[in-house]
Chain A
Amino acid sequence: MPKLDFIKKVLVIGSGPIVIGQAAEFDYAGTQACRSLKEEGVTVVLINSNPATIMTDKDIADMVYIEPLTPDMVKKVIIKEKPDSILPTLGGQAALNIAMELDESGFLKENGVTLIGTTHSTIKKAEDRLEFKKTMEKIGEPCAASEVVNTVDAAVEFTRTIGYPVVIRPAYTLGGSGGGIAYNEEELRDICGNGLRLSRVSQCLIERCIAGWKEIEYEVMRDGNGNCITVCNMENLDPVGVHTGDSIVVAPSQTLSDKEYQMLRSSALNIINELNITGGCNVQFALKPDSFEYCVIEVNPRVSRSSALASKATGYPIAKVAAKIALGYTLDEIPNAITKKTYASFEPALDYVVVKIPRLPFDKFIHASRALTTQMKATGEVMSICTSFEGALMKALRSLEQHIDSLYTDSYSKLDDEDILERLKKIDDRRIFVIAEAIRRNIPYETIHDITKIDVWFIDKIAILVEMEKRLISEELNEELLREAKRIEFPDNVIAAFTGKDVSDIKNMRKKYNITAAFKIVDTCAAEFEASTPYYYSCFGSESEITEPSTHKKIMVLGSGPIRIGQGIEFDYCSVHSVWSLAANGYETIIVNNNPETVSTDFDVADRLYFEPLTPEDVENIVDIEKPDGAVVQFGGQTAIKLTEALIKMGVKILGTSAENVDAAEDRELFDEILEKCRIPRPAGKTVFTTEEALKAADELGYPVLVRPSYVLGGQGMQIAISGDDIIEFMEVINRYEQEHPILVDKYLMGKEVEVDAVCDGENILIPGIMEHVERAGIHSGDSISVYPAQSLSDKVIDTLVTYTEKLAQSLHVIGLINIQFIVFNEEVYVIEVNPRSSRTVPYISKVTGIPIVKLASQVILGKKIEELGYRPGLQKKSDYIAVKMPVFSFEKLRGAEISLGPEMKSTGECLGIAENFNEALYKAFLGAGINLPKHRKMILTVRDEDKEESINVAKRFINLGYEVYATRGTANYLKANGVQVVSVNKIEQEAPTLMDLLLGHEIDLVIDIPRQGEHSKDGFLIRRVSIETGVTCITSLDTANALLTSLEHADKSHLSVLDIAKL
């Protein structure tokens, strides 16, 4: 069927800010789909509140609205743009929900907008728990038996019919709090009672426990004609019980026979036929390991994280095809872009193994529970491709950049066997290392399997890796052994460590025996058809398919690896734009990255894509083949910067700012010299290595001081110490990993934080704008509300900022991007950090000023001058609009994580509020972050002694907004004494009713709880956690509270405007 005629203008809804469970994959899918729609001559209107995305660029969509993703705002865009259709299947759950609401209210019909890519009944049948169950029963597809209960007795009664164990899931609690698995009635009564109390609607779902079954997923496509295919299936190494987003996943499935594979495949097709899906869909199954029994766990009638993974794993562009299907095409009409000989109705055949490992944020939240459950906790993931499972696993492990390149870690070597068996019971991110340790001690596979339920096939593969460790330790390293070690992807440094040799010895030996990486093509068809798509992976012991590398001028762009807190999607934005800009300037581009969720790893972004770990050895393999004319490292975050030295050693020219100058910005002494030369002040500071030195430095500087390792991103390990005890604690945390570089101890100044991104061509600089933070210094810039243009800086301060930026960029000989963070304290400007590379704010400032910074920086790197590019150097004219960047957090997903903000970054994403005036922009930013107040007009306020005075005004302003303010005794007495009418409430440990009872009454809108730096009071922590877990907004800084007040005081939803930023 050809394209449907009536579709001329489509509204695409994005997925909003990056949060755990909804990350870059939707930017990848959205970008691909928008391009696919435009290819067909369709006008694309886009709405997404996330400015760090590529899909919100004006070259991806025709009209771009960076507005809060609420039904009201989407309505406004529809009224303004009058699209004929709306495509909601690319923006995750958020987009589907909005589309449903607009459809149900009749709004779409009234405005002549057709829902494409899905239907109302499809979404309803897939998303509504009861409807879904009914539909599955109708077509005979089994689901785990479950029932919604409102009382503990009902739960016990129901469980009698299905048997223990059962899973308890409280309704409307976040992060799976209050849920659990009960093995007997006593546990059920206990967990269910607690769950009902935590649930806002006193409701729990009781479900048959299928933990330990195999978890299998199918990615399926269906067109309007009813043609279906499966793109691929995937098997989770971690059995049911761990969210698939947190599981190690392998594609295709490894332990299913054809009978099981086809049984589940047929079931998946049966389901999408019944749901009448048109587009992509993900079906998750639990398969009982000892029979053909299975249950359908979940269906996602849209693109998802799994579909992004499946697309990258197979080369089949799911989102692109889904968009074409939405326009009316059938699968047999859509050509396969890789082979150009086959069609989208062809099921990919893999001739390699793909392994995905999640990137978990426990390095950021050291106190959070590492337990992996049905609530996803990963912020990102890495994928690797190899011809063996062992090889793919090894490659994925080192792609994680978590200081571990093999399955060996000495964290467990000191434990005795009993402890290891105990540790095996813990399902967390370290389980695979514990399994390896258990194998090292010859604990039988069966024992490991009985505890973990992980299939013995996987255990045996881990054992193969452990056996190689043992061989490397005990045998003489000869050619045969080295070949075998490389075949299963032991990196040279690991081989060196086990054999007691030098990395260079291993490298030389490899040269001698000609043991080199071969590159193979991902072609969707297992070599059955010729493919010209340059999508490569490496393996050893094979023939390389790159026989004649191109002789064109080419540049390698290093990507940013997995999404993690502090290094998010914005770096992929920068990498992709850099690739596009380099290509536009006549260069061939090579991208190296390992993140399956991103646009950069789409096979048609760069001229050649290498899906590889970002380690020196892996990159060198590519360099050896490609011999690039240069490499760009400044766009891929710290991951790429870290490779600079290695690239230079390989003889690759680093384009842009030189490595020495990157070093100068990070090396405290060199940097101090430059500052002195430029006469730029910075807060006093010292460099240290040991705790003793740190204590001494802090004493000399005077508390509070800022402690942090150098060469890190996102303020990792950065803390404000107010006492020697803090120093001791923080140093211990930092020194858990051997530090190559010194640790910095700085005097902490509590001023206003200001941030500047600039492009420098070696002589001149271009500053698109100055951003000011709402929160005072001490809160990481990534976690602060940031305002462009700066609202409260004097002309004198702005002049100083520009001068300092110029001086620093010139002294550091920056060619490309530079990001500088300043503190303005009593009208004096201090520099706190200089990063001669792209930063988190680059996409944001590019979009609100309309100045394509990455494009400019890439051209400058190629030797162009700012003036040649049509810009006048210096600070650019302020935009007519105000843009407020609001951080967004995922605390509810991370049990036990401390939510109070500090110098270490904790947010996972951001959204933007943009409007003609500050108040509206601020309101939109809060709205976009999901803070939609007021609801019940009740709030809790507890502050530190030093904040009490400031809290008077905060309390008054909330009362003026009609809020009832509750405060703990100390705060309450103080406020009352100052004439503020607040209600005193008991602390948790005091008699009831306490703060906790208040929160569990589910009538509180907001908690403002300002913890002391370094506070470890259980009380405050508990309150903050319970608020987050029951869905109450919790603020930990008075600056943020004041901003929220300003926004609420000026809230007038009906007058919110929508702005097409493509026209800026």
Chain B
Amino acid sequence: MKTYLILENGMIFEGESIGAEREVISEIVFNTSMTGYLEVLTDPSYAGQAVVMTYPLIGNYGICRKDMESQKPWPDAFIVRELSRLASNFRNEYSIQEFLKEYDIPGIAGIDTRALTKILREKGTMNGMITQNIDRDMEELKHVIASYSVKGVVKKVSSDKVSEYAPGDLDTDSGIQIKRHVAVLDVGTKNNIIRSLLKRGCKVTLFPCNAKASDIIGVKPDGIMITNGPGDPKECLDVIAEIKKLYDSDIPIFAICLGHQLMALATGADTHKMKYGHRGANHPVKDIFSGRVYISSQNHGYVVDENSLNKNICVPAFINVNDKTIEGLKYINKNIFTVQFHPEACAGPKDSDELFDRFINMMEVR
């Protein structure tokens, strides 16, 4: 069915409907990963956004549910140039078309995704509407589209209760000996963060985003992990207040992505929205202390402001080689380090996987 993408600046792309045939308004962001569309779709950090894949052929290897990074896909919509009509892979269970329908994700295919990406690059991230009906007042519609903003998404994606994980869960080896206990503050976690901890002999207690610091400290974890997640970090005032308390405890902390931003905000630094963010599997980050460059998986639209850092509290530990933005912080006199990128990969390279080992080594062995 003919479907349209209308941008807040009034530009219209015509394509075919994929997934659910319904109307949606969302913030449009692009991702440059050439593989890993299922991981992208199920990454909670995309809640409240519509994702454009810059790679033109999507769905080639179908859907393997084991590769999902959470219970369901989160983007409001999915935008591609072409969905493969046939999926081929030994683990393929069903097609991406069926998957999108199953979870009621609307989308559009057959548009010039490169042209769209260039607009987002030039003008910055903007909102758009996917609709089957363009026979309406454009000026009014543009206003409606522009007024959308990503809100309340952390609560939406976070788990609603405390849960426990041990080796054996999430397809890990149940024979792994438990040596440490990690509390994970879930502000939109990807499964592979938990899995990366389980694989390293951690028992995991997962706390929802509204958990109190006292509850988290109360389970006497050897370390605390603050996860990735969606939206504007500054919106999470309650979470930031609790994280400040975690900072004040002397428990080792490792934070990723939104977690990294929240910790920065909790300790007095500032964040700002980037023009169009970093979303892909090819971003070089440099470890300032070793000089080593890692190719990382990234998905963020906000970044910690370098000028806002108090050198007595934290210093940059990683920077982005391309635009020199902050990619990681080391906290002074604290067992805390945080990164903007995704060492848990999925989708993307596992080059910085060893950061989990670094975290493990920060904790005492039980």
Known: A331-B293, A387-B56. A457 touches B34 (CB 8 A): no
Which residue of chain B has the shortest Cβ distance to A350 in the bound complex?
B34
Known: A291-B90, A457-B88. A229 touches B284 (CB 8 A): yes
- Flag whether A266 is at the interface (Cβ < 8 A): yes
- Tell whether, in the assembled complex, residue A351 and residue B55 are in contact, meaning their CB atoms are under 8 Å apart: yes
Tell me which of B64, B286, B322, B349 contacts A341 (CB under 8 A). Answer: B322
- Cα–Cα distance between A526 and B347 once the two chains are bound (Å): 17
- Flag whether B35 is at the interface (Cβ < 8 A): yes
- Flag whether B138 is at the interface (Cβ < 8 A): no
- Flag whether A290 is at the interface (Cβ < 8 A): yes
Q: B327 → chain A, closest Cβ, in Å? A: 13
Chain A residues near B60: list those with CB within 8 A. Answer: 254-255, 457
- Flag whether B237 is at the interface (Cβ < 8 A): no
Q: B217 → chain A, closest Cβ, in Å? A: 36
Chain B residues near A225: list those with CB within 8 A. Answer: 291-293
- Tell whether, in the assembled complex, residue B114 and residue A332 are in contact, meaning their CB atoms are under 8 Å apart: no
- Flag whether A757 is at the interface (Cβ < 8 A): no
Q: A912 → chain B, closest Cβ, in Å? A: 43
- Cα–Cα distance between A254 and B89 once the two chains are bound (Å): 10
Known: A256-B61, A542-B114. A346 touches B284 (CB 8 A): yes
Chain B residues near A464: list those with CB within 8 A. Answer: 85
* Contacts of A227-244 to chain B: CB distance below 8 A: 227-230
- Flag whether A528 is at the interface (Cβ < 8 A): yes
Chain A residues near B38: list those with CB within 8 A. Answer: 257-258
Residue from B32, B293, B348 having most chain A Cβ neighbours under 10 A? B293
- Tell whether, in the assembled complex, residue B55 and residue A526 are in contact, meaning their CB atoms are under 8 Å apart: yes
Chain B residues near A530: list those with CB within 8 A. Answer: 121
- Tell whether, in the assembled complex, residue B286 and residue A332 are in contact, meaning their CB atoms are under 8 Å apart: yes
How many residue pairs bridge A and B at CB < 8 Å?
161
- Tell whether, in the assembled complex, residue B322 and residue A388 are in contact, meaning their CB atoms are under 8 Å apart: no
* Contacts of B28-85 to chain A: CB distance below 8 A: 30, 32-36, 38-39, 54-57, 60-61, 64, 67, 81-82, 84-85
Tell me which of B84, B117, B293, B295 contacts A527 (CB under 8 A). Answer: B117
Residue from A347, A348, A541 having most chain B Cβ neighbours under 10 A? A347
Q: A382 → chain B, closest Cβ, in Å? A: 21
Chain A residues near B176: list those with CB within 8 A. Answer: none
- Tell whether, in the assembled complex, residue B115 and residue A542 are in contact, meaning their CB atoms are under 8 Å apart: yes
Chain A residues near B115: list those with CB within 8 A. Answer: 542-543
- Tell whether, in the assembled complex, residue B35 and residue A529 are in contact, meaning their CB atoms are under 8 Å apart: no
- Tell whether, in the assembled complex, residue B67 and residue A257 are in contact, meaning their CB atoms are under 8 Å apart: yes
Chain A 799-836, CB-CB to B under 8 Å as 1, else 0, gives: 00000000000000000000000000000000000000
- Flag whether B358 is at the interface (Cβ < 8 A): no
- Tell whether, in the assembled complex, residue A332 and residue B117 are in contact, meaning their CB atoms are under 8 Å apart: no
* Contacts of B73-132 to chain A: CB distance below 8 A: 81-82, 84-91, 112-115, 117-118, 121
- Tell whether, in the assembled complex, residue A332 and residue B284 are in contact, meaning their CB atoms are under 8 Å apart: yes
Chain A residues near B159: list those with CB within 8 A. Answer: none
- Tell whether, in the assembled complex, residue B32 and residue A258 are in contact, meaning their CB atoms are under 8 Å apart: no
Which residue of chain B has the shortest Cβ distance to A288 in the bound complex?
B90
Residue from B114, B115, B118 having most chain A Cβ neighbours under 10 A? B114
- Flag whether B350 is at the interface (Cβ < 8 A): yes
Tell me which of B84, B85, B292 contacts A226 (CB under 8 A). Answer: B292
Q: B3 → chain A, closest Cβ, in Å? A: 16
- Tell whether, in the assembled complex, residue A343 and residue B321 are in contact, meaning their CB atoms are under 8 Å apart: yes
- Tell whether, in the assembled complex, residue B284 and residue A527 are in contact, meaning their CB atoms are under 8 Å apart: no
Which residue of chain B has the shortest Cβ distance to A388 in the bound complex?
B82
Chain B residues near A77: list those with CB within 8 A. Answer: none
- Tell whether, in the assembled complex, residue A349 and residue B54 are in contact, meaning their CB atoms are under 8 Å apart: yes
Tell me which of B86, B88, B322 contacts A346 (CB under 8 A). Answer: B322
- Flag whether B346 is at the interface (Cβ < 8 A): yes
- Flag whether A303 is at the interface (Cβ < 8 A): no
- Tell whether, in the assembled complex, residue B90 and residue A290 are in contact, meaning their CB atoms are under 8 Å apart: yes
Q: A559 → chain B, closest Cβ, in Å? A: 26
Which residue of chain A has the shortest Cβ distance to B39 in the bound complex?
A258
* Contacts of A343-361 to chain B: CB distance below 8 A: 343, 345-353
- Flag whether A305 is at the interface (Cβ < 8 A): no
- Cα–Cα distance between A266 and B293 once the two chains are bound (Å): 15
Interface residues on B, range: 35 or more
Chain A residues near B235: list those with CB within 8 A. Answer: none
- Cα–Cα distance between A257 and B62 once the two chains are bound (Å): 8
Chain B residues near A262: list those with CB within 8 A. Answer: 35, 345, 347-350
Chain A residues near B84: list those with CB within 8 A. Answer: 457, 460
Known: A266-B350, A343-B321. A349 touches B280 (CB 8 A): yes
Q: A833 → chain B, closest Cβ, in Å? A: 48
Chain A 278-297, CB-CB to B under 8 Å as 1, else 0, gives: 00000000000111000000
- Cα–Cα distance between A528 and B35 once the two chains are bound (Å): 17
- Flag whether B300 is at the interface (Cβ < 8 A): no
- Tell whether, in the assembled complex, residue A345 and residue B57 are in contact, meaning their CB atoms are under 8 Å apart: no
- Tell whether, in the assembled complex, residue A351 and residue B86 are in contact, meaning their CB atoms are under 8 Å apart: no
- Flag whether A632 is at the interface (Cβ < 8 A): no
- Flag whether B282 is at the interface (Cβ < 8 A): yes
* Contacts of B263-293 to chain A: CB distance below 8 A: 280-284, 286, 291-293
- Cα–Cα distance between A269 and B345 once the two chains are bound (Å): 16
Known: A349-B55, A351-B114, A528-B32. A258 touches B346 (CB 8 A): yes
- Tell whether, in the assembled complex, residue A289 and residue B284 are in contact, meaning their CB atoms are under 8 Å apart: no
- Flag whether B351 is at the interface (Cβ < 8 A): yes
Chain B residues near A529: list those with CB within 8 A. Answer: 121, 322
Tell me which of B39, B283, B292, B349 contacts A265 (CB under 8 A). Answer: B349
Chain A residues near B346: list those with CB within 8 A. Answer: 258
- Tell whether, in the assembled complex, residue B54 and residue A345 are in contact, meaning their CB atoms are under 8 Å apart: no
- Tell whether, in the assembled complex, residue B112 and residue A346 are in contact, meaning their CB atoms are under 8 Å apart: no
Known: A460-B85, A526-B32. A227 touches B292 (CB 8 A): yes
- Tell whether, in the assembled complex, residue B293 and residue A227 are in contact, meaning their CB atoms are under 8 Å apart: yes
Chain B residues near A341: list those with CB within 8 A. Answer: 322-323
Chain A residues near B295: list those with CB within 8 A. Answer: 228-230, 345, 347
- Tell whether, in the assembled complex, residue B36 and residue A258 are in contact, meaning their CB atoms are under 8 Å apart: yes
- Tell whether, in the assembled complex, residue B34 and residue A456 are in contact, meaning their CB atoms are under 8 Å apart: no
- Tell whether, in the assembled complex, residue A349 and residue B282 are in contact, meaning their CB atoms are under 8 Å apart: yes
Q: A597 → chain B, closest Cβ, in Å? A: 24
Residue from B112, B121, B282 having most chain A Cβ neighbours under 10 A? B282
Q: B42 → chain A, closest Cβ, in Å? A: 12
- Tell whether, in the assembled complex, residue B284 and residue A345 are in contact, meaning their CB atoms are under 8 Å apart: yes
Q: A293 → chain B, closest Cβ, in Å? A: 11
* Contacts of A81-117 to chain B: CB distance below 8 A: none
- Tell whether, in the assembled complex, residue A543 and residue B292 are in contact, meaning their CB atoms are under 8 Å apart: no
- Tell whether, in the assembled complex, residue B284 and residue A255 are in contact, meaning their CB atoms are under 8 Å apart: no
Q: A253 → chain B, closest Cβ, in Å? A: 8
- Cα–Cα distance between A528 and B276 once the two chains are bound (Å): 9
Which residue of chain B has the shortest Cβ distance to A265 in the bound complex?
B349
Chain B residues near A347: list those with CB within 8 A. Answer: 281-282, 284, 295, 349
Chain B residues near A350: list those with CB within 8 A. Answer: 34, 55
Chain B residues near A265: list those with CB within 8 A. Answer: 349
Known: A229-B295, A346-B283, A349-B32. A457 touches B86 (CB 8 A): yes
Chain A residues near B91: list those with CB within 8 A. Answer: 257
Chain A residues near B61: list those with CB within 8 A. Answer: 255-257, 457
Q: A790 → chain B, closest Cβ, in Å? A: 57
- Flag whether A935 is at the interface (Cβ < 8 A): no
**A-B complex: 7 closest residue pairs judged by Cβ atoms:** A258-B36, A347-B282, A457-B88, A526-B54, A349-B32, A460-B86, A345-B284
Known: A257-B61, A345-B293; 14 extra A-B contacts, CB below 8 A, are A253-B35, A259-B67, A290-B90, A332-B293, A332-B321, A349-B54, A349-B280, A349-B282, A351-B32, A351-B114, A388-B57, A525-B32, A528-B30, A543-B115
For this complex, 25 residue pairs linking A to B, each with C-beta atoms less than 8 Å apart, are A225-B292, A230-B295, A256-B89, A257-B67, A262-B349, A266-B350, A290-B90, A332-B286, A341-B323, A342-B322, A343-B321, A345-B293, A346-B322, A347-B284, A349-B34, A351-B55, A351-B56, A351-B117, A457-B87, A460-B85, A520-B114, A526-B55, A542-B114, A542-B115, A543-B112
Instruction: Please report B residues at the A interface, Cβ cutoff 8 Å.
Output: 30, 32-36, 38-39, 54-57, 60-61, 64, 67, 81-82, 84-91, 112-115, 117-118, 121, 280-284, 286, 291-293, 295, 321-323, 345-351
